[in-house]
């Protein structure tokens, strides 16, 4: 009993084609994910900038609160 070399080539070809189809499908989904993330960032740019502008004052408040905790204990 033997396996003809053509059967191996056909199996390898089918496996390669299946992998290529899977890769295209995965890249398409990844592109959709990145596009959605980009749209969310563009939609929320104003809110993100406002939050980032408030971070220094928040950090200052946290620092003063932690100093007050040290003084109490």
Q: What is the pLDDT of residue 67?
A: 80
Instruction: Give the chain's domain count.
Output: 1
Residue with tokens 């406002």: 50
Q: What is the pLDDT of residue 69?
A: 77
Q: What is the pLDDT of residue 73?
A: 61
Whole-number Å distance between alpha carbons of 55 and 73: 27
Cα–Cα distances (Å) from 63 to 15, 23, 48, 51, in that order, read: 59, 49, 23, 18
Q: Which domain holds residue 65?
A: 5-72
Question: What are the tens digits of pLDDT across the range 14-73?
Answer: 999 999 999 999 999 999 999 999 999 999 999 999 999 999 999 998 888 888 777 666
**What is this structure's pTM?**
0.59
Q: What is the pLDDT of residue 46?
A: 94
Dig out the tokens for 45 from the structure.
């740019």
pLDDT at 1 over 90: no
Whole-number Å distance between alpha carbons of 3 and 11: 11
């Amino acid at each position: 009993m033997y396996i003809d070399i053509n059967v191996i080539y056909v199996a390898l070809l089918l496996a390669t084609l299946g992998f290529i189809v899977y890769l295209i499908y995965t890249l398409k989904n990844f592109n959709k994910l990145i596009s959605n993330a980009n749209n969310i960032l563009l939609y929320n740019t104003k809110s993100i900038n406002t939050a980032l502008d408030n971070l220094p004052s928040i950090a200052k408040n946290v620092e003063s609160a932690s100093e007050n905790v040290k003084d109490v204990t």
